[in-house]
Amino acid sequence: MNAPSTDSPAASGRLQIAFAVFFASGFAGLVYEISWSRQIGLLLGNTAAAASIVLASYFAGMAIGYATLGRVASRWPSRCYAVLELAAAAWAVAIPLLLGLAETHMAALLDHPSPALQVAIRAVFCFALLAPATIALGGTLPAMAAWLAAHGDRDARSVAWAYGLNTFGGLVGALSATWILLVFVGVAGSSRLAALVSTSCAVVAWLASVGEGASPKAHATKSAGQTRWPVTALMCIAAAAGFCSLALEVLYARLFALIFHNSTYTFGLVVAATLAALAVAAWVSTWLVRRVDPVHAAAWALLLAAEAIPLSTFYFLERTMLDYFQGEAHFFAYVLACASLVAVVTIPSMLLLGLALPLMWASACGAAEQQADEPNRAGRIGPLAAANTVAAGLGALAASFLLLPTLGLWGSFAATAVVALAAALLAAWRAGQRSATYWVGVAGAVVTIVAVWQTSAQRHALNSNQKLERSWESAYGWIDVVRDDRTGTRSLRENVHYTHGSTASSEWERRQGNLALLLHPQPRRVAFLGSGTGATAGGAMLHPEVESITVVELIPEVVAAARLFADSNLGVLEDKRTRIEIDDARHYLLATDQRFDVIVADLFVPWETKTGYLYTVDHYRVARSRLRSGGLYCQWLPMWQLGEREFAMIADSMAEVFPQVTLWWCKARRSRSVIALVGSDGHLKLDAAAIDRRLDAMWRAHPERDAQLADAHDVARLFVGSWRRRVGAPLNTDEHPR
Q: Cα(465)–Cα(172) distance, rounded to whole angstroms?
A: 46
* Per-residue pLDDT tens digits for 535-580: 999 999 999 999 999 999 999 999 999 999 999 999 999 999 999 9
pLDDT digits (tens, 9 = 90+) for 130-166: 999 999 999 999 999 888 877 665 556 788 999 999 9
In 152-186, where does DSSP find H-type helix? Answer: 157-176, 182-184
pLDDT in tens, 119-138: 999 999 999 999 999 999 99
Lowest mean pLDDT segment, chosen from 180-189, 261-270, 564-573, 680-689 = 261-270
pLDDT beyond 50 at 222: no
Rounded to an integer, what distance in angstroms lies between the CA atom of residue 398 and that of residue 126?
19
Q: Which residues contact 197 (CB under 8 A, 6 or more apart)?
A: 24, 25, 27, 28, 31
The pLDDT of residue 355 is above 70: yes
Predicted confidence (pLDDT) at residue 257 exceeds the cutoff of 80: yes
Compute φ and ψ for 580, nearest 5 degrees.
Answer: -100, 125
3-state SS assignment for residue 209: coil
For the segment 381-394, the average pLDDT, to the nearest whole number, is 94
Q: Which of 201-210, 341-350, 723-732 has the highest mean pLDDT?
A: 341-350
Question: CA dist 511 to 340, 506, 507, 601, Å?
Answer: 42, 8, 6, 13
Q: Is 665 exposed, middle or buried (0-12, 13-18, 19+ CB in 10 A)?
A: middle
Query: Residue range 409-421: average pLDDT?
Result: 93
> Using one digit for the tens of pLDDT, what is the confidence trace for 26-50?
999 999 999 999 999 999 988 888 8
Predicted local confidence at residue 19, as pLDDT? 92
Residue bearing the bigger pLDDT, 343 or 495? 343
Mean pLDDT of the chain: 88
Per-residue b or e along 509-519, where b marks 16 or more CB atoms closer than 10 Å to that residue's CB? bbbbbbbbbbb
Q: Reply yes or no on whether the pLDDT at 219 is more than 50.
A: no
Q: Is the pLDDT of residue 371 over 80?
A: no
Q: Are 466 and 490 in contact (CB under 8 A)?
A: no
Q: Cα 53 vs. chain centroid, distance in angstroms?
A: 11
